[in-house]
Amino acid sequence: MGDSVAGVASRGRTTEVDFALIGHQESWRAAADVLAFLRGPQRTPLPDDEIKDILPWIPPRAVCHVDVGSTVGAKTSGLYIDSFIPPDRLEAAYVHENIGRVRAAAAYAIKAGAKIVSLGGFSSILIEGNFDQLPQRHDTVFTTGNTLTVAFIVQGIKKMCALEGRNIRRSTLLIVGATGDVGSGCARCLAPIVSRVQLSARNVERLRRLAAELQADGVQVEIATDLQRFSAEADVVICAASLPSPSLLLGRIAPHAIVCDAGYPKNLSPSAQMLGTKVFFGGLGQITGGLRFAPDFHGILNRHPFPDVVHGCLLEGMALALERRFEAFSQGRGSITQERVEEIETIAARHGIYLAPLYNADGPVEDGLHCQTEWA
């Protein structure tokens, strides 16, 4: 199987590689679908136990080409590189092994000649802005993609508030995973327009620094490492913690709260009891100018109920490639500002990349037109 996987991206293609996307699958079901596709329809699907045995031995490599179109006529091409990090090996015990996988995926992108590389999912968390952990490169730049992720989370929160008739300026905002790059970026964007802010994370010193930054601008801030310690119930919640599996149980949140699960893997535990809450998956955008995989991985790599929806962290690299701005736009923890968010929003929108239709595990959470795209 290794030879067939290795040959997928190189067979019959001479297109210049503008961008590369480094990702991994968030569940064993998704990983099984990728392997089944790569092995071909003529092969009998592998049993689950064999998949779990095989996956850790597959080295990072490209699995498909990606072509992206812009609504203003621009086009760009790249590669999707899977790091094949096993979904059950995201814990701290495997951090060195997984950094090695990200490094190998990065080396593949550099060798392929990618001008810009987006680090998706846990890839950016493992590197955490320390780009000198990546292999030496000459003409390849890396971005975590977190700024566009923040943009789509914030847009989604505002849209949900509008749909629910909620006045966001009267809301108490809770951010779980607040000191990470995405969480702190969301705090800087939303703190000025809510009534009060609650920040939760594991590192109390980082919490204090972020709180002091926001308080200097007149924001009312409360911090806690224990979600039960907050004094008020939050009615707008962003879950952006770097959890290896969906295990988060929210504490003090208001009935009918708006909850954005922006984790990859998802943050919220399936057993979480949140009757009346309005949950949506955040940080997702939709390409309206055309998205094509070769071979056709639609519905496998982008497992969403709407066409051409991609995580913001990967979309950032595509948008910058369409703009011909090959730069490390997002570089690590704590550097995302409102101004940078607005800048990447403008770039993405110029090429027809917008907030994706909102949905959760039960399906769409809104009515409306969902653009069916074609390659121009």
Task: Please state the length of the chain.
Answer: 376
Predicted model pTM: 0.94
Topology at the third CATH level for domain 150-281: Rossmann fold (3.40.50)
Q: Report CA-CA distances (Å) from 41 to 52, 126, 339.
A: 20, 34, 48
Give the strands of the sheet with 284-287, arranged side by side: 309-311, 284-287, 353-355
Confidence at residue 217, expressed as pLDDT on a 0 to 100 scale? 95
Please tell me the distance from the alpha carbon of residue 309 to that of residue 313, in angstroms, as a whole number: 12
Domain range annotation of the chain? 2-147+285-356, 150-281
Q: For 187-216, write each residue's pLDDT tens digit.
A: 999 999 999 999 999 999 999 999 999 999
Assigned token pair, 322 = 């369409």
Which is more confident, 87 or 128? Answer: 87
Q: What pLDDT is recorded for position 111?
A: 95
Give per-residue burial for 183-197: e unless 16+ CB within 10 Å, then b. bbbbbbbbbeebbbb
For every residue of 235-261, which 3-state class applies, written as one string? Answer: EEEEECCCCCCCCECCCCEEEEEEEEE
CA distances from 116 to 179, 233, 323, 324 (A): 26, 42, 12, 10
Residue 41 has pLDDT above 50, yes or no: yes
pLDDT of residue 322: 98
Confidence of residue 14 (pLDDT cuts 50, 70, 90): low
Cβ atoms within 10 Å, residue 100: 14
pLDDT exceeds 70 at position 324: yes
Angle 206-271-119 from CA coordinates, rounded to 5°: 45
Q: What is the pLDDT of residues 130-179, one digit of tens each?
A: 788 888 887 999 999 999 999 999 999 999 999 999 999 999 999 999 99
pLDDT of 36 above 60: yes
pLDDT band at 126 (very low <50, low <70, confident <90, very high): confident
The pLDDT score that the predictor gives to residue 368 is 42
Residue 254 has pLDDT above 60, yes or no: yes
* 3-state SS class at 286: strand
pLDDT (tens digit per residue) in 333-375: 889 999 999 999 999 999 999 999 999 999 999 764 333 333 3
Q: How large is the average pLDDT for residues 283-297?
A: 97
Q: Give residue 221's pLDDT.
A: 98
What angle do helix axes 204-215 and 181-190 make, rounded to 10 degrees?
A: 20
Q: Which residue has the higher pLDDT, 77 or 14?
A: 77
The residue with greater pLDDT, 111 or 12, is 111
Mean pLDDT, to the nearest integer, of 319-331? 96
Q: How confident is the model at residue 2 (pLDDT cuts 50, 70, 90)?
A: very low
- In sequence order, what are the residues at sequence separation of 6 or more whose Cβ sits closer than 8 angstroms to the Cβ of residue 43? 36
Mean predicted confidence (pLDDT) in 303-311: 95
pLDDT higher than threshold 60 for residue 301: yes
pLDDT at 3 over 50: no
In this prediction, residue 129 has a pLDDT band, given cuts at 50, 70 and 90, of low
Phi then psi dihedrals of residue 60, to 5 deg:
-55, 140
